[in-house]
């Protein structure tokens, strides 16, 4: 029995159609997203965002956000 090989594009398209049909568009995108490596330099971005903050500053920000979520 000789089964013709599909291109990677064909396999990907078929898999996306199956996933979308079975679990829906939103969950398909969430599933695919876990395999994305992202872009940029996480270390540099983290430093730019947080280096000027102390641990106490970060904890205070987390607690403030948690408080807002509880009130919503």
Residue 1: inside a domain = no
Residue 2: inside a domain = no
pTM assigned to the model: 0.47
Residue 15: inside a domain = yes
Domain extent at residue 18: 8-71
Residue 17 makes CB contacts below 8 A (sequence gap 6+) with none
Residue 63: inside a domain = yes
Q: What local confidence, expressed as pLDDT, does residue 63 receive?
A: 95
Count of domains for the chain: 1
Model pLDDT for residues 16-50, shown as the tens digit of each residue: 999 999 999 999 999 998 988 778 898 999 999 88
Residue 14: inside a domain = yes
Model pLDDT for residues 61-71, shown as the tens digit of each residue: 999 999 988 88
User: How far is it, in rounded angstroms, from Cα 33 to Cα 36?
Assistant: 5
Residue 41: inside a domain = yes
């Amino acid at each position: 029995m000789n089964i013709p090989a599909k291109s990677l594009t064909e396999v990907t398209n078929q898999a996306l159609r199956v996933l979308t049909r079975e679990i829906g568009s939103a969950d398909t995108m969430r599933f695919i997203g876990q395999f994305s490596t992202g872009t940029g330099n996480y270390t540099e971005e983290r430093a730019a965002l947080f280096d000027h903050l102390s641990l106490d500053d970060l904890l205070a920000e987390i607690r403030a956000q948690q408080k807002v979520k509880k009130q919503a």
